[in-house]
Structure 1
Amino acid sequence: MVVGKYSNVNGSRIYYEIDGTGVPLLLLHTAGTDGRVWRRMIENIPSGYMTIVPDLPGHGKSWPWANWRKARVDVRFYSDAISGLVKDLNLDRMVVLGCSIGADITLMLTTMIGERIEMAICAEGAGKTNTFVEQDILKTDPGNVERAFDFCGRGATKDSIEDLIWIRSSNNRDIYIGDLLAWNNFDIMDNLSSIKNRIMLLRGDDDPVVSETMLRDTSAKLKHSKFMTIPGFGHYPMIEKPAEFAKIVDSIIKTRD
């Protein structure tokens, strides 16, 4: 049974949902969306997992930070919030799976609370994600159908793309733009060599944002990492083909040793 709660973290009210029992699996959503992007994947994940799905500050049901209309935040800010939530819930030996900016946050978390993380899975993210022209970011429309199609893989269905557009459109545009700027400014390449955790880097071969070179460069800096290109997926694997992605994630976790 899904249970939704709030946690007061660093002055913010963070909403999260917990479902199931077993290996703690923390799921971190993409830019400008919320925890709902994981819904269909969670429905297909095998038993034996306790999924923890937060909405980042200012997303979904989580409250924003003070002066959020003017004050931009970065990946470190979001990582601090999630780190605080992890400590509040006393999570340990967990698997963290993040997608897009959620993958950037996942990498950052290994530098902050690595001792609590059994394994990190970074989907469609990298150690440096300066992939957009800033002026294009400032003109972003969350409901842009063409952009959604362009970023999704060839296996995405009409329903999955409509899910993405709906979730993104129901979140705040200014927050979405801020997320893209935070993504664009993210760079911890010089810190990757200090990470001790096992890390799996994933990239859909239809993703126009994250290149294989970005994954190779990131993996080369990490001590314990692998990277995998998954055919037929784009930038939103858990939305595009949730059942297939759930199998991939389950296999990665179960063969992590």
Structure 2
Amino acid sequence: MAKHEPITGHYVYLTVEDIEYRVYYEEAGQGIPLIVGHTAGSDGRQYRHLLNDPEVTDRYRVIAFDLPFHGKSLPPHGEKWWEQEYQMTKTRMIAFPNALTEALELDSPVYMGSSMGGHLAIDLASKHADRYRATIAVEGALRSAAEYVHVGMAGIRREYDNPKVSRTSTGAAMMLNISPYSPEANVREIQWEYQCGGPGVFAGDLYYYYYDHHVTPEEARAIDTSQCMLYLLTGEYDPNTSPAETQELADLVPGCKFWAMPKLGHFPVTENYEEFRQYLLPILQEIIDNSDLPALEEAGSTPQ
């Protein structure tokens, strides 16, 4: 008998800023909706290990979507997208999970994102706490490291927009962001995913990651974790967002919870899911407990 995974794929049409997008998403499980957002320049394949984890999908409906221009979500048909520079803004970044929530009629979902998706988890908790019961920021912070911002978008585009080198150079560059303790098979998987990206897309995503996401101390203090709980997880070996930078955010947000993850890097969901889930499962259990739903059995050890 053929081996199958419990994952199904769909296309849904989302209208954002008066443009209709055909967006691909994969899902598995049942229960509380858990929307997961990918890193800059990649796609929802990063969450295949999570989608196949029955300790999650027994109580959560996990939905991994590809942003337009990423993975199986093509650029918008009928729009002359090739005549303008691709650039992901904060407003647009926020709009997509909100539109997905409405289109799929999700009731108070949880959002979890990594890297730029981790930044987004913070922006959603700040701006749209009424839509989400909790958000989980993986490798998130108030802002991206200043030394990267000083490079400027012109420098970033020169590095990543050249179609002759962008796929290989981007895949190689990602190796620098991964923990040396990660299994090589997982590391190569991340590299492969980045080599599949369209020219200019990674650089365009970095506009949001480096510039448009910037949470002020006042905005951080105003996040209401009694309405939308904010969880923070950051890998020890992440050179882009260090645990110290996430701690800076955690110190400002009343009631949020933060764990640094030893031996993990910038892509913990993919680079070593078995380690990452030891931190994720107790969080998902706590969300269930606070939602007055049946408990997950053997949900893993509590983060220390």
Compute the TM-score of the two structures, normalised by the length of structure 1: 0.92
Cα distance, 1:52 vs structure 2: 0.6
Cα distance, 1:246 vs structure 2: 2.2
Moved >6 Å (runs of 4+) = none
CA contact (8 A) 1:57 1:81 kept: no
Q: In 2, distance between residues paired with 1:236 and 1:170?
A: 17
2:229 paired with 1:198:
yes
Q: In 1, distance between residues paired with 2:233 and 2:191?
A: 23
Cα distance, 1:23 vs structure 2: 2.1
Secondary structure of 1:57's partner? coil
Q: 30, 35, 48: which one pairs with 1:39?
A: 48
Equivalent in the alignment of 2:70: 59
CA deviation digits over 1:156-204, x for unaligned, max 9? 1221111111111112130111112220002122422332221111111
CA contact (8 A) 1:32 1:173 kept: no
Equivalent in the alignment of 2:278: 247
Equivalent in the alignment of 2:302: none
Q: 1:134-149 to 2 correspondence within 5 Å?
A: 134=152, 136-138=155-157, 139-140=159-160, 141-144=166-169, 145-149=171-175
CA contact (8 A) 2:172 2:191 kept: no
- Answer with 1 or 2: which has the greater Rg: 2
Q: 74, 89, 103: which one pairs with 2:118?
A: 103
Cα distance, 1:2 vs structure 2: 2.0
Q: In 2, distance between residues paired with 1:2 and 1:17?
A: 6
Where relative contact order (Cα < 8 A, 6+ residues apart) is larger, the structure is 1
CA deviation digits over 1:198-223, x for unaligned, max 9? 11111110111102332122123322
More off after superposition, 244-253 vs 117-126: 244-253
Q: 162, 166, 176: which one pairs with 1:150?
A: 176
Q: 1:13 to 1:112 in 2, by over 3 A?
A: farther
Q: Give the letter for the 1:123 counterpart.
A: V
CA contact (8 A) 1:16 1:52 kept: yes
Secondary structure of 1:181's partner? helix
2:214 paired with 1:187:
yes
Cα distance, 1:146 vs structure 2: 4.1
Q: In 2, distance between residues paired with 1:142 and 1:71?
A: 17
Q: 1:18 to 1:5 in 2, by over 3 A?
A: same
Structure 1 unaligned regions, length at least 5: none
Q: 223, 245, 248: which one pairs with 2:254?
A: 223
Q: 23, 26, 38: which one pairs with 2:32?
A: 23
CA contact (8 A) 2:121 2:135 kept: yes
Aligned length in residues: 257
